[in-house]
Amino acid sequence: MDLLVRLVRDKPLGAAGGAVFVFFLLCGIFTGVLAPQGLNETDLYHRLESPSPDFLLGTDHLGRDVLSRVLYGAQISMIVALLAAGLATVVSIAIGIVSGYFGGRTDLIIQRFVDAWMVFPGLVLLIVVISIVGAGLTQMVIILGLQYGIAGSRMVRSAAVTVREQMYVHAAQSIGARSLHTLVRHVLPNVMPVVIVLFTTRIGLVILSEAGLSFLGLGIPPPATTWGGLLSGTGRTYMYLGPWLALAPGLCLTIVVFAVNVLGDALRDLLDPRMRGSQ
Amino acid sequence: MQAYLIRRLLALFPTLLFVSLIVFGSIRLIPGNVVDLMLAQNDVSTGQDRERVEAALGLDRPITVQYFVWLGDALQGDLGKSLWQGTSVAAELAARVPITFELGFLALIVALTTALPIGVYSALRQDTAGDYLTRSFSLLMLAIPGFWLGTLVMVFPSVWWRWAPELDDPPFFQNPLKNLSHMLVPAILLGLSLSAVTMRITRTMMLEVMRQDYIRTARAKGVGEVLLVVRHALRNGLIPVVTLVGLQAPVLIGGSVIMEQIFVIPGMGLLLLEAVFSRDYPVVSGVFLIVGVGVLLINLAVDLSYGFLDPKVRHQ
C-alpha cells in the first residue's frame, strides 16, 4: 500500500504504466461482457470490412470482428502473463535463495547449470521444448515460467548473498533456527524488493515470448485467439486486402509491454537502487 | 594475461558439460520417442522391428553409454542424420549457419552504428529534449515485437506503394549486392531492439565516465571536446557495452529465427522451424547444440576482449 502511494507520488509515469496494465487486465477479465461478438462468431455478409462504427476495428476474411478477437487475445495474454511470470518468480526465488544462502558447492553447481541454461536463446529453447511437449496453454505457462525463472534467479541470488551476511541472519542461526525457517522468515522478506521488480519485468518478457511463439505457430492452438496468432497463419494473406488486420494486435502488444516496462523501471528505482540504470 | 586466458578456458568446461546434458536430455524427453515415429512412417509395427530399430539407433544401451556415444560423435562433428531426408545434420548446418551469421553480423553493425553515436549524444545532452526523445524511442523499441515490425514492413509498403522487400536470395559470393538488399531490411529490424538496449547502456556509462576526475583534468588542460569524448571517455565507457553486446548474442539468434521466417531467409532459424514442424529431432538437437556452443564461444571471445580493452585485466 505504502509502495503504491510512493509510486504515484514519485514516479507518475510508472504509475501511468501500471494503470495501462490494469486496464488491459480488466479487458481480459471482462472480455465476455465487452466483446461485441463471440470468440469465433463469423458473419459472412461483412467480410474484410474496414473499421466502421459497427465494427470498430474492422472484420477479417471470415467476417469475425477484430475488436472482439483482440479482446479475447488480451484474455490469453493476461492469463499467460500472470501465471507464467508468477511461476517464474517462484522458481527464481527457490533457486536464487538456496544458491545464495547456502553458497559453497551447492551454489557452484547450481550456478554452472544456470550459466549453461542462459547460453541458449530464450526463443530457441522455447521452440525446442515445445517441439517436445507440444503446444498448449498449460505447457506454455510451465515452459515460460521455467525459462524466465531460471534466468532470473541470478538477481535473487545476489540479493540473498547480501542478506546472508546480515547480523539478524547470524543471530537466527546462532539460536539454532532451522535452515528452512531462516530462509522463509528472514531471507525471503528481505529479498522481496528484488522479487517485486523481477515479477514486473518478467510480465513484459513473457507476453512478448508467448506472442512470438504464437506467431511462429507454436503457441496456444486455435480456437483460442492470441495476439501473436492474429498476426500469423492464414490471417497474413488477407492483410494485403485488409491492412487493419495487422495493426490492432501488434499495437496492443506494444502498449502493454511498454507500460509494464515503464512500471518496472519505476519500481526498480524506488525499491532497488543497486539495479538502477541496468537493463 | 596468459593466466587470465587459461582461467577463462578452464571455466568453459563445466558450462559445456551442462550444455551437452541439456541438449542430450531434451532429445530423450521426447514422448512416444523417435522409434515410434519412424515405425509409424514405414507402416510396420511388430515387436521385432521395434527392437531392431532400437538396436540400430543404439537406444537399447544404458542411458550413460548413449550419452557418451552421442558426445563422442558430436565432438567428431557427427550430429547424426535427418530422419526424413537422410542427409547429414552437420552438412546441413554448415550450409545454414553462415547465413544466420551474416544476418546477425549485419544487425550488429546496424545496432552499433546507431546506438553508439546516439547514446553518447544523449549522455552529453542529458535531460534535453533530444535526450528524452532518444530515451523514449529506445524504450519503445524494447516493447515492439520484432515480428510485428516485420509484418508491418511487409504489408504497408506493398499496400501503399506496391513495394515489397526483396525475397529472392542468392548466396553472398554469387551476387553480393542482391544478397545484401535481401538481408538489409531484416537486419535493420533485428538491429533495432539491440540498438535500443545498447543506446541505454552507452548513455548510462558515458554519464558515469564524464563525471570522473580524469575527464575534468583532461578538460582543464585544454583537450578539445571531441577528442575528450573519443579518446578519453569512450575507451572506458565502452567496456560494459562490449559485455552487453556479448550477452545479447542469444537475443540476436532468437530474433533471427523470427526474421528468417518472415523474410524467408534459409538460415539456421528456418532450419529449426522446418525441423520442429516435421518432427525431425536429430536436426532440432543439432541446431540446439550448435546455438549453445556458438553462444558460449561468443561469450568467451567477449571475455577475452577485456584483456585488450581493459588494462586492469591485462595486468592482473
Q: Determine how many CB atoms are found less than 10 A away from the CB of residue A104.
A: 8
CA angle A17-A55-A62, nearest 5°? 110
Q: Quick one: CA dihedral B265, B267, B270, B271, positive or negative?
A: positive
Place of cell 542462459: A118
Inter-chain touch A131–B279, beta carbons under 8 Å: yes
Average pLDDT, chain A: 80
Q: Which three cell numbers stand for residue B222?
A: 585544454
The residue of chain B nearest to residue A247, with distances taken between CA atoms, is B152
Q: Which three cell numbers stand for residue A128?
A: 525446442
Place of cell 584483456: B307
Q: Between these two residues, A219 and B44, which has the higher pLDDT value?
A: A219
Which of B29, B139, B275 is opposite residue A262, by nearest beta carbon? B139
Which residues face B88 on adjacent strands? Answer: B81
Round to whole Å and give the CA distance between A175 and B170. 72
* pLDDT reported for residue A279: 37
* pLDDT reported for residue A190: 81
Length of chain A: 279
Q: Render pLDDT for B200-236 as a digit per residue (tens, 0 to 9).
A: 888 888 888 888 888 888 888 888 778 888 777 887 7
Average pLDDT, chain B: 79
One-letter-per-residue 3-state SS of A121-186: CHHHHHHHHHHHHCCCHHHHHHHHHHHHHHHHHHHHHHHHHHHHCCHHHHHHHHCCCCHHHHHHHH
Quick check: helix, strand or coil at residue B81?
A: strand
Span A177-205, mean pLDDT?
84
Q: Which three cell numbers stand for residue B108?
A: 550488429
* pLDDT reported for residue A278: 43
Q: Which of A70-84, A260-274, B11-25, B91-105 has the lowest mean pLDDT?
A: A260-274
One-letter-per-residue 3-state SS of B9-69: HHHHHHHHHHHHHHHHHHHHCCCCHHHHHHHHHHCCCCHHHHHHHHHHHCCCCCHHHHHHH
Quick check: helix, strand or coil at residue B88?
A: strand
The answer to whether residues A96 and A114 touch, using CB atoms and an 8 Å cutoff, is no
Confidence grade of residue A86 (pLDDT, cut at 50, 70, 90)? very high
Contacts of residue A16, Cβ cutoff 8 Å, sequence gap at least 6: A259, A262
Place of cell 575507451: B235
* pLDDT reported for residue A49: 67
Span A42-66, mean pLDDT?
68
Quick check: helix, strand or coil at residue A271?
A: helix
Span A43-72, mean pLDDT?
70
Residue A98, pLDDT above cutoff 80: yes
Q: With beta carbons under 8 A apart, name residues in chain B contacting A132.
A: 26, 29-31
Q: Which three cell numbers stand for residue B39?
A: 515405425
Which of B158, B197, B261 is opposite residue A240, by nearest beta carbon? B158
**CA separation (Å) from B166 to B149, B177, B188, B269, B295?**
16, 11, 14, 19, 29
Confidence grade of residue A276 (pLDDT, cut at 50, 70, 90)? very low
**CA separation (Å) from B233 to B23, B83, B284?**
43, 55, 45
Which residue of A24, A108, A110, A123 to mutate against B (max B Cβ within 10 Å)? A123
Span B282-308, mean pLDDT?
82
Q: What is the ipTM of this complex?
A: 0.77
Residue B281, pLDDT above cutoff 70: yes
The answer to whether residues A140 and A178 touch, using CB atoms and an 8 Å cutoff, is no
Residue B166, pLDDT above cutoff 70: no
Does A123 contact B at CB distance below 8 Å? yes
Q: With beta carbons under 8 A apart, name residues in chain B contacting A228.
A: 145, 147
Q: With beta carbons under 8 A apart, name residues in chain A contacting B284.
A: 128, 131
Q: Which three cell numbers stand for residue A278?
A: 541496468
Inter-chain touch A258–B140, beta carbons under 8 Å: yes
Q: With beta carbons under 8 A apart, name residues in chain A contacting B288.
A: 120, 124, 128
> Which candidate, A225, A260, A279, places its Cα nearest to that of A64?
A225
* pLDDT reported for residue B10: 81
> Which candidate, B203, B197, B194, B268, places its Cα nearest to that of B234?
B203
Residue A229 burial by Cβ neighbours in a 10 Å radius (0-12, 13-18, 19+): buried
> Which candidate, A246, A227, A206, A203, places its Cα nearest to that of A58?
A246
Which of B30, B255, B296 is opposite residue A132, by nearest beta carbon? B30
Inter-chain touch A116–B15, beta carbons under 8 Å: yes
Round to whole Å and give the CA distance between A206 and B192. 20
Q: With beta carbons under 8 A apart, name residues in chain B contacting A212.
A: 145-147, 258
Residue B316, pLDDT above cutoff 60: no
* pLDDT reported for residue B58: 65
* pLDDT reported for residue A87: 94
Span B86-94, mean pLDDT?
82
Quick check: helix, strand or coil at residue B106?
A: helix
Contacts of residue B65, Cβ cutoff 8 Å, sequence gap at least 6: none
CA angle A187-A188-A190, nearest 5°? 70
Confidence grade of residue A54 (pLDDT, cut at 50, 70, 90)? low
**CA separation (Å) from A247 to A258, B129, B284?**
16, 29, 33
